[in-house]
């Protein structure tokens, strides 16, 4: 798309959200926590330029069934799907991909705004330093997803209403920990799992590279959220902690039940209720929804918001199984996979093509499969 336009009409091109509250200066330039400073150093060392690190010359066919397994189409196998011609199925594939990447894009803009807000509101200087590196990371993420949508998918969707509701709630709250809990632990926690599924399943090299590199950055963001909130939450009163736990439960249900992409069915003129019911009942989509919580659950546990209400909600949703995944190990894997892609890009074109045709990383695919099975057994 030469000009940026949306598949569905939007009422306004700007969205104003009151974000109130105070910002905090800190005159104590000396008291710094070792681990936060190390993370800040890492944040500086690991900066990258998306213009150069990513090969934007790669051609993308958004309708290519080889690149993305049909099982990832929400209505795959249903009567509605089976009645479609190949061309109609290709259109569904294209739109669904554009919808998902559009939500990544809008979510990343939320992360950009939230990271900038944390710089102002978080009390300690070491955390302000680190959050400043995250601001540029999130700007880069907005850059890569918008470029991918504009140049490669040539299609974009407006923000999903449930995601917008959650963003509104997070940004309107003036407390720095709520910005971080809502954005980094909840919204980006879900996003991280979705990036991971694309990274590990797609054979489309550009999407694979983008999502792998973004995840490398996100690994640091999660580490920061864990460090900052792990120190902070034990000092809250019972009532204050309870309020945060209720937020975690509500936001989890909102995203699981309402973040479903019905906009695509609306846009394509399919019967929305009927199609939504198919998606709701699809076992593959149930696994997908479960997998979305694989990154969020271990982090909620790590920051100590692990009261009975949270555990009960996660048990009801069938995602409690993820509580034993170690966030640090997952982050190390994310980094290793990003280095692997860098190495591949240094290979000659022929060698890289050969690697690309090997497709899905089988070891990672097996890991993802075993997590899905674990969740099914729960
Ligand atoms: Fe991000
Ligand atoms: Fe992030």
Q: What is the 3-state secondary structure (H, E, C) of the chain?
A: CCCCCCCCCCCCCCCCCCCCCCCCCCCCCCCCCHHHHHHHHHHHHCCCCHHHHCCCCCCCCCCCCCCCCHHHCCCCCCHHHHHCCHHHHHHHHHHHHHHHHHHHHHHHHHHHHHHHHHHHHCCCHHHHHHHHHHHHHHHHHHHHHHHHHHHHHCCCCCCCHHHHHHHHHHHHCCCHHHHHHHHHHHHHHHHHHHHHHHHHHCCCHHHHHHHHHHHHHHHHHHHHHHHHHHHHHHHCCHHHHHHHHHHHHHHHHHHHHHCCCHHHHHHCCCCHHHHHHHHHHCHHHHHHHHHCCCCHHHHHHHCCCCCHHHHHHHHHCCCHHHHHCCHHHHHHHHHHHHHHHHHHHHCCHHHHHHHHHHCCCHHHHHHHHHHHHHHHHC
Ligand 1 centroid–CA 189 distance in Å is: 10
Ligand 2 centroid–CA 184 distance in Å is: 6
Predicted pLDDT of residue 197: 87
Question: What's the pLDDT band for 372 if we cut at 50, 70, 90?
Answer: low
**Closest to 9 (Cα-Cα) out of 208, 156, 227:** 156
Q: What are the tens digits of pLDDT across the range 308-331?
A: 999 999 999 999 999 998 888 888
Predicted pLDDT of residue 155: 96
What residues does each domain of the chain span?
Answer: 3-7+33-325
Question: What's the pLDDT band for 208 if we cut at 50, 70, 90?
Answer: very high
In sequence order, which residues have a C-beta less than 8 Å from that of residue 230 and are 6 or more positions away?
A: 302, 303, 304
Ligand 2 centroid–CA 230 distance in Å is: 18
CA distance 190 to 204: 22
Instruction: Please give the average per-residue pLDDT across 286-307, as a whole number.
Output: 92
Question: What's the pLDDT band for 249 if we cut at 50, 70, 90?
Answer: very high
Phi, psi of 232 (to 5 degrees): -85, -40
- What CATH architecture is 3-7+33-325? Orthogonal Bundle (1.10)
The larger pLDDT score, comparing residue 51 to residue 344, is at 51
Q: What are the tens digits of pLDDT across the range 254-272?
A: 988 888 889 999 999 999 9
Closest ligand to 189 CA? 2
Ligand 1 centroid–CA 142 distance in Å is: 8
CA distance 144 to 149: 9
Question: What's the pLDDT band for 81 if we cut at 50, 70, 90?
Answer: very high
Predicted pLDDT of residue 68: 81
Is 50 exceeded by the pLDDT of residue 378? no
Ligand 2 centroid–CA 214 distance in Å is: 8
Is 80 exceeded by the pLDDT of residue 242? yes
Ligand 2 centroid–CA 114 distance in Å is: 9
Q: What are the tens digits of pLDDT across the range 327-365?
A: 888 888 888 888 888 887 776 555 555 555 555 556 555
Average pLDDT, the chain: 88
Question: What's the pLDDT band for 38 if we cut at 50, 70, 90?
Answer: very high
Q: What is the reported pTM?
A: 0.89
Is 80 exceeded by the pLDDT of residue 176? yes
Q: What are the tens digits of pLDDT across the range 17-27?
A: 888 788 999 99
**Closest to 313 (Cα-Cα) out of 327, 299, 293:** 293
CA distance 4 to 73: 25
In sequence order, which residues have a C-beta less than 8 Å from that of residue 135 and are 6 or more positions away?
A: 112, 115, 116, 119
Question: What's the pLDDT band for 371 if we cut at 50, 70, 90?
Answer: low
Ligand 2 centroid–CA 222 distance in Å is: 7
Closest ligand to 142 CA? 1
Ligand 1 centroid–CA 115 distance in Å is: 10
Ligand 2 centroid–CA 281 distance in Å is: 31
């Amino acid at each position: 798309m030469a000009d940026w336009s949306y598949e569905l009409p939007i009422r306004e091109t700007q969205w104003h959200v009151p974000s109130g509250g105070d910002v905090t200066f800190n005159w104590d330039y000396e008291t710094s926590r070792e681990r936060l400073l190390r993370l800040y150093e890492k944040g500086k060392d690991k900066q990258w330029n998306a213009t150069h690190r990513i090969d934007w010359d790669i051609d993308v066919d958004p309708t290519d069934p080889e690149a993305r397994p049909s099982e990832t189409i929400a209505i795959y196998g249903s009567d509605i799907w089976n009645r479609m011609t190949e061309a109609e199925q290709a259109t569904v594939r294209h739109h669904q991909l554009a919808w998902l990447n559009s939500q990544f894009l809008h979510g990343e803009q939320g992360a950009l705004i939230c990271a900038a807000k944390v710089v102002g509101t978080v009390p300690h200087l070491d955390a302000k330093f680190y959050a400043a590196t995250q601001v540029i990371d999130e700007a880069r993420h907005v850059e890569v997803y918008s470029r991918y949508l504009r140049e490669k998918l040539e299609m974009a969707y407006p923000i999903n209403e449930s995601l917008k509701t959650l963003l509104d709630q997070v940004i309107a709250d003036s407390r720095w920990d709520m910005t971080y809990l809502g954005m980094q632990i909840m919204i980006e926690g879900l996003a991280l799992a979705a990036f991971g599924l694309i990274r590990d399943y797609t054979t489309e090299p550009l999407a694979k590279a983008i999502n792998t590199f973004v995840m490398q950055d996100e690994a640091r963001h999660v580490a920061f959220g864990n460090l900052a909130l792990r120190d902070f939450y034990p000092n809250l009163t019972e009532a204050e902690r309870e309020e945060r736990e209720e937020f975690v439960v509500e936001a989890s249900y909102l995203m699981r039940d309402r973040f479903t992409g019905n906009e695509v069915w609306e846009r394509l003129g399919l019967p929305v209720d009927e199609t939504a019911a198919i998606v709701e009942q699809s076992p593959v989509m149930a696994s997908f929804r479960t997998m979305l919580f694989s990154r969020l659950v271990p982090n909620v546990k790590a920051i100590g918001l692990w009261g009975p209400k949270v555990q009960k909600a996660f048990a009801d949703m069938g995602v409690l199984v993820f509580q034993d995944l170690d966030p640090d190990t997952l982050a190390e894997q994310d980094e290793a996979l990003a280095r692997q892609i860098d190495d591949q890009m240094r290979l000659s074109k022929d060698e890289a093509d050969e690697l690309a045709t090997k497709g899905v990383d089988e070891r990672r695919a097996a890991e993802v499969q075993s997590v899905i099975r674990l969740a099914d057994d729960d």
